[in-house]
Each structure stands twice: as C-alpha cells, then as structure tokens.
Amino acid sequence: MADSLAPPAGGARCAGLLLAAGAGRRFGRPKALVELDGEPLVRRALRVLADGGCAPIRVVLGAQAEDARALLPDPSLAVFAEDWATGMGASLRAGLRALPEADAVLVHLVDLPKVDARVIARLAAQASPEVVARAAYDGVPGHPVLFGRTWWPGVAASASGDRGARDWLATRQDLRLVECADLGSGFDVDTPEDLPSTLEQ
C-alpha cells in the first residue's frame, strides 16, 4: 500500500474501522466479496483507509466471514461481529471494542467505492480525542465518519439496528461537516446495477 497522503494534524493517531459484515440482501451476496475492476470491495476499502493515513485498521466481518477474511492481506485485521445480522450497530460496537489505543477512529463502509484515499486523508487530518466529524458531499452528510476516542463509549452504547451511530450523531451540536465533493462521492453500491455507474468519473 502506498504511503499515506497526509498525517493527522498534531501527530494524532487516527485508527481506521471498516464495516463489512452485511449480507448484501439487495445485492444478492455480501458486498465485501463483490469485485470492482478486479479488486474485492473489502480490499479496495481497506487499501483506501491505509493509503489515507489510518493506522491501526480493523475490518468487521459477519456474513461469509471466512470468505471475506481470506481476501484480506492480513487476516489478523478481521474482527467477527457475532450479532452482525441485527444490523450495522452490532458491527460498530464490535469494531470499537476491538480497536487498539488511538486518538480517533475513522469509520468507513465497504460499499462506497467512490470514496478514495484523498477523502480519508482529509477526514483523518481532523483527528483528535474530542472530534466529531463526517464527510459531506455538496452539503449532504455522508461517510466516512470520524469519532474522537472520548466519544467511543457513548457511540457504542447508542449503536443499534441498522442505524449505527445515526441517532448519536443527530444529538451533536459540535458535529463538523468536512466537504469532500471535490474529491469523491458518497454513492453507495446496493445492487449489481449500481456497479457500472461507479466507474464513471
């Protein structure tokens, strides 16, 4: 993987957390296993986190976990969310519990192929223990989302179902939106028909 584009400001350590546990019901199989340009989405998203400056990184798996783990360059990065089928909240809780010490964590989703390392680096540059920030695309809040370590217990406690941290974020007056439309798109892949459009620039 390439060297990171920019270190987080002030030497803060920004971990990366990739949520890749879903069964991909609308897609027909787990999106972590889907290939785009010959690269599985789980490897693509992991590479983007690393190239954007996140370390350490953990990848939360659930559906067909062993198949997805086999695609990782380092299987020890994987975290299995036993209750993954209950929704994204379970993956977020499992991932936060498994993270080593860091000042902040950048939470990324496996089905966002138009989020590249430049988006990750722009968010990671905001890292601090107290930060609450997320990418925005033309003013619309999206992913990734950056959580300072101070807030991890509260985020984990509130994460439930498929809403993940959405309810917790809705209460934050200090949420910082980081505009990234000049670098990428928050477009997510839900069905096989979505894949060709991700190749359009």
Helix (H, G, I), strand (E, B) or coil at 141: strand
pLDDT of residue 197: 52
CA dist 103 and 151 (Å) reads 11
CA dist 101 and 105 (Å) reads 10
pLDDT in tens, 15-60: 999 999 999 988 889 999 999 989 999 999 999 999 999 999 999 9
pLDDT in tens, 73-94: 999 999 999 999 899 999 999 9
Predicted TM-score (pTM) of this structure:
0.91
Other Cβ atoms closer than 10 A to 150: 14
- For residue 116, give every residue at least 6 positions away whose Cβ sits within 8 Å of its Cβ, in sequence order, or none: 48, 52, 183, 184
For residue 164, what is the DSSP state?
A: B
pLDDT of residue 166: 87
CA dihedral 200, 71, 116, 79 (to 10 degrees): 130
CA dist 15 and 58 (Å) reads 8
- For residue 77, give every residue at least 6 positions away whose Cβ sits within 8 Å of its Cβ, in sequence order, or none: 46, 57, 58, 59
Q: What is the DSSP string of 46-86?
A: HHHHHHTT--SEEEEEBTBHHHHHTTSSSGGGEEE-TTGGG
Q: Which residues pair with 101 in a beta bridge?
A: none
Helix (H, G, I), strand (E, B) or coil at 134: strand
pLDDT of residue 2: 37
Q: Does 108 score more than 80 pLDDT?
A: yes
pLDDT of residue 201: 37
Helix (H, G, I), strand (E, B) or coil at 9: helix
Q: Does 62 score more than 70 pLDDT?
A: yes
Sign of the four-CA dihedral 108, 46, 68, 155: negative
